[in-house]
Amino acid sequence: MQTLWDGGTTAQKFEEKFVARVAELTGGRFKINLFSAGQIAPPAQAFDAVRGGAFEMMKTFDGYEAGKIPSLAFTSTIPFGFPESDQYEAWFYERGGLELARQAYAAAGMFYVAPTVYGQEPLHSKVAIRKMSDLQGKKGRFVGLASSVMGAMGVAVTTMPTGEVYSALDKGVVDFADRGDLLSNFESGLAEVAKYVILPGFHQPTTATSYVANKGAYDKLPAEFKSALAVAAREVSGAFRQHLLVNDAVALGKYKAKGCEIIYMPADEIKAARPKALEAWKAATKGDALATKILDSQSTFMKDLGLL
């Protein structure tokens, strides 16, 4: 199994917990050899490597492959979508999302095992953003589905690698940017170049990475080993999410100590923007039948929750 995380990072340490838990659940009989990003194949080639059988499983962010499989835009994150991670995870486990994600990967000869669902990514800004109309005409860095949705909100969107975000903010190439979670962004120095932290992260309110296996390899596993993968994945999802919740609280204190202002976007502003976001979501399906089915399922659940 190769992950999308660098070695030694907190996220990779939770993949170590996943592997250890699978072994524990099977009395040590199911051993997964774990590799960090790029150790077997370049990250951008992991999808094809697993599909081709170069290795059997990966931890990935589905949105990377949304260009090939439009459905995967919606199994990774939904800008202006579910504001709580538990809501997104409930869609997977209680509203048929897990089976829909498996349908999306099946066409590529792969098996979607389970998601790891966790929270928001904040917006770091050089200007105060207190209402949605403040976004219009500003320059922002976003990737994936957020690029389309934020463009619909009037943002002049640019995409760039994560490593370039600090410099882009510092030089004023962008007014605000998405990058990662609160703590990792602080560690990268964003408090030095963007004095406003906008919460909640409406452009990426909750996130799902995923365990995906080569279907031929998965089908050969005994039922006990398949169950161990599912159980360990769901346990790690909750554990990682709770770890980040604790770190977010610590990180906010660090930003304040650096003189940053934490701005909380009013909930009614976010809710009022969802209908416009919905149009951008529909466009992102590209007319694909399964992507449309997934979006319809998520939209129905959001209506049930009073979000739409």
pLDDT in tens, 66-96: 888 999 999 999 999 999 999 999 999 999 9
Report yes or no: 294 and 71 within 8 Å, Cβ to Cβ.
yes
Average pLDDT estimate for 111-127: 96
**Following CA atoms 184, 186, 187, 190 in sequence, which dihedral angle do they give, to the nearest 10 degrees?**
110
Which token pair is 131? Answer: 């209402």
Query: Running DSSP on this structure, what letter comes out for residue 175?
Result: S
For 39-67, the pLDDT digits (tens) are 999 888 999 999 999 999 999 989 889 88
Q: Which residues contact 188 (CB under 8 A, 6 or more apart)?
A: 165, 166, 179, 180
Other CB atoms closer than 10 Å to residue 8's CB: what's the count?
8
Report yes or no: 213 and 2 within 8 Å, Cβ to Cβ.
no
The SS3 assignment for 96 reads coil
Exposure of 257 in the CB half-sphere (CA atoms within 13 A): 7
**Size of the chain in residues:** 308
Average pLDDT, the chain: 94
pLDDT score of 279 more than 90: yes
Average pLDDT estimate for 4-13: 88
The phi and psi torsions of 246 (rounded to 5 degrees) equal: -65, -45
The pLDDT confidence band at residue 260, using thresholds 50, 70 and 90, is very high
Q: Which residue has the tokens 């560690």?
A: 187
The pLDDT confidence band at residue 143, using thresholds 50, 70 and 90, is confident
Of 60, 203, 57, 208, the residue nearest 142 (C-alpha): 203
Q: How many Å apart are CA 43 and CA 225, to the nearest integer? A: 26
The pLDDT confidence band at residue 147, using thresholds 50, 70 and 90, is confident
Of 3, 260, 251, the residue nearest 119 (C-alpha): 251
pLDDT of residue 183: 86
The SS3 assignment for 112 reads strand
Q: How many Å apart are CA 131 and CA 263, to the nearest integer? A: 10
For 199-225, the pLDDT digits (tens) are 999 999 999 999 999 999 999 999 999
The pLDDT confidence band at residue 184, using thresholds 50, 70 and 90, is confident
pLDDT score of 162 more than 90: no
The pLDDT confidence band at residue 175, using thresholds 50, 70 and 90, is very high
pTM: 0.88
Q: How many Å apart are CA 236 and CA 241, to the nearest integer? A: 8
The pLDDT confidence band at residue 188, using thresholds 50, 70 and 90, is confident
Which amino acid is present at 204?
Answer: Q
